[in-house]
Amino acid sequence: MSELKLPSIDYAALAPILIMLGAALVGILVEAFVPRRLRNAVQLGLALVAMLAAIVMVILNADARLITIGGAIAVDGPTLFLQGAILVLAVMALLLVGERTVERGGAFVAHAAVTAESAEDRRQAEGVGGATEVYPLMSFAIAGMLIFVAANDLLTMFIALEVFSLPLYLLCALARRRRLLSQEAALKYFMLGAYASAFFLFGVALIYGFTSGIPGRGAGVDFATVHAAVTDSSSSPVLLFAGMALLAIGLLFKAAAAPFHVWTPDVYQGAPTPVTGFMAACTKVAAFGALLRVFHVAFAGASWDFTPVLGAIAVLTMLVGAVLAVTQTDIKRLLAYSSIANAGYLLVGVLAPSREGLSGTMFYLAAYGFSVLAAFAVVTLVRDADGEATHLSRWAGLGRRSPFFAAIFTFILLAFAGIPLTSGFTSKFAVFGPALEANQAWLVIAGVLTSMVLAFPYLRVVVMMWLSEPGESTPTVTVPGALTSAALVIGVVATLALGVVPGPLLDLTTGAAEFVR
């Protein structure tokens, strides 16, 4: 019997992941042992401290460029940058999740059977405390995302995908208001997500088959083996193409790219708004992080084959997102379609296989995350007696009622529209420039044309808020608690700062834009 050889493990490099997993486990214990009244504060504090500690570890690891734990995890520039981005955005989302003063009792239901305005619901509002499972679930999801962007083989990536997806399905179902919509969203997300996972897994199997077909090499699904197999011209590409397509479906589903986007508007609308913000920012970072790694590291040798297909998907995504956004009447659905269109712009960056392209995509991910979280933070504040007022007609004349928040939202919408001096402009520039350099002018032109279409729905909201007279049903903006204010300030300041002085972050992304193989 041969000796079992243990892989070497670099615990310091894994620290951010371990911290978040540990925090999630401790969070479950807190649920079991800490009295109900204290749970919210303890859980919030725990999650926040864990995230900050993980951020510190990411910063301490900044120069790490290594592959550890038997080739399963790669800690390199993109990993660290994306992990940092996920964590920082997650802190913002956590602040929104932890908010308890905007709506008494919080935005989350205690358990599935509680309906809005029921006796139990009112008790929650009186301070008994709602569902604090949100925090460990979020920690699990974040841990999964941190692994997802660092995964160096396809199986680890699949497990990470499940680790962050399952908590998200649950989180979607936890809205305290509009319970049915929320549960429908969760079910839809779960069903479609399960299909996507199955596609991904099948793709992994096919790729394994592809690598095993090459004589003189061991089979495997780690990126180095896949890369070597792809560059080996002797192998038949059928399995490769099929496997690549199935993998891409799984990843593009999470990234909300057309035609795998159909879940996005329903889920974004039904999920509790803080969770929607979390998904729009962090899931996007994680999904594109994985896409970048898979296509730039594992399949780099096949770029001639996948670039036209992904390019077509990018164009379709931009088109679908932009055109359907025009017809939306609900602010959360509008932001969902805008997020789909943004996935298209990000794909343009993915298809620029240069250091600048990688750097630009990462810049875009971070910048977009800040803006979209700030946008959803404002959405949580515009409310009436029935909770958030998300129908656009209800936003008419908001600028007159609450000029400050309307101004903030206008600024964010201008950022989405790509007006200069906002991060929306610099990030578009950061992905379009390298794409043009990579001779993908058609993608840039499609991006520019869809930006024009997309400007219209944004502008319509601005018109609604400022130029329409306030109606009877115009809700007021709730004065945000400290947590939401903090998230809002971070988001808006980042959107402005990255638009005016993008230099420092660009230095960071450029320095980080190299994968270890």
Partner 1 sequence: MSNFPFLSVLTVAPLVGALVVALLPRSRPDLAKLVAFGWSLLVLVLSVVMWFAFSAGGDRFQFRESYPWIPNWGVNFTFEVDGIALVMLMLIAILVPLVILASWHDAEASKRSVPAYFALLLVLECTMIGVFAAADVFLFYVFFEVMLVPMYFLIGSYGGHQRQYAAVKFFLYSLVGGLFMLAAVIGLWVVGGKTFDWQALSQAEFATDTARWLFLGFFVAFAIKAPFFPFHTWLPDAGGAAPAGAAALLVGVLDKVGTFGILRYCLPLFPEASRWFAPWALALGVIGIIYAALLAVGQNDLKRLVSYTSIAHFGFIGIGIFAFTTQAGTGAVLYMLNHGLATGLLFLVVGMLIARRGSALISDFGGAGKLVPVLAGVLFFAGLASLALPGTAPFVSEFLVLIGTFTVNKPVAVIATLGIILAAAYVLWMVQRTTQGTLNPALTEVEGMRRDLTLREKVVVAPLIALIVLLGFYPKPVTDVINPAVQATMQDVGKSDPAPEVGSVQEAAK
Residues that bind partner 1 in the complex, under the rule CB under 8 A: 414, 417-421, 425-426, 428-429, 432-433, 436-437, 441, 444-445, 448-449, 451-452, 455-456, 459-460, 463, 466-468, 501-503, 506-507, 510
Whose CA is closest to 168, among 278, 6, 5, 47? 278
Nearer to partner 1, 114 or 436 (CB): 436
Nearer to partner 1, 132 or 509 (CB): 509
Nearer to partner 1, 196 or 392 (CB): 392
Nearer to partner 1, 440 or 478 (CB): 440
User: Nearest approach, Cβ of 421 to partner 1 (angstroms)?
Assistant: 6
User: Nearest approach, Cβ of 480 to partner 1 (angstroms)?
Assistant: 23
Q: Are 85 and 362 in contact (CB under 8 A)?
A: yes
Distance CA 419, CA 425 (A): 6
Nearer to partner 1, 284 or 428 (CB): 428
DSSP 427-486: HHHHHHHHHHHTT-HHHHHHHHHHHHHHHHHHHHHHHHHHHSPP-TTPPEEPPP-HHHHH
Helix (H, G, I), strand (E, B) or coil at 9: coil
Place of tokens 């994306």: 82
Distance CA 334, CA 253 (A): 19
Nearer to partner 1, 402 or 426 (CB): 426
In sequence order, the β-bridge partners of residue 67 are 74
User: Nearest approach, Cβ of 455 to partner 1 (angstroms)?
Assistant: 5
Query: Taking the alpha carbons of 435, 436, 439, 440 in that order, is the dihedral positive or negative?
Result: positive
User: Nearest approach, Cβ of 255 to partner 1 (angstroms)?
Assistant: 24
Helix (H, G, I), strand (E, B) or coil at 151: strand
Residues in the chain: 517
User: Nearest approach, Cβ of 433 to partner 1 (angstroms)?
Assistant: 5
Distance CA 466, CA 407 (A): 9
User: Nearest approach, Cβ of 43 to partner 1 (angstroms)?
Assistant: 41
3-state secondary structure 297-343: HHCHHHHHHHHHHHHHHHHHHHHHHHHHHHCCCEHHHHHHHHHHHHH
User: Nearest approach, Cβ of 467 to partner 1 (angstroms)?
Assistant: 5
Nearer to partner 1, 193 or 399 (CB): 399
Where do the H-state alpha helices sit in 173-283? 179-212, 223-231, 237-255, 263-270, 273-278
Nearer to partner 1, 191 or 452 (CB): 452
Q: Give me the torsion for CA of 394, 395, 399, 400, rounded to 10°.
A: 0
In sequence order, the β-bridge partners of residue 222 are 153
Residue 429 in tokens: 């520039």
State which amino acid sits at residue 296.
Answer: H
Task: Show the CA angle centred on residue 255, arms to residues 52 and 343, nearest 5°.
Answer: 100
User: Nearest approach, Cβ of 422 to partner 1 (angstroms)?
Assistant: 10
Nearer to partner 1, 137 or 414 (CB): 414
User: Nearest approach, Cβ of 384 to partner 1 (angstroms)?
Assistant: 25
Nearer to partner 1, 14 or 314 (CB): 314
User: Nearest approach, Cβ of 514 to partner 1 (angstroms)?
Assistant: 16
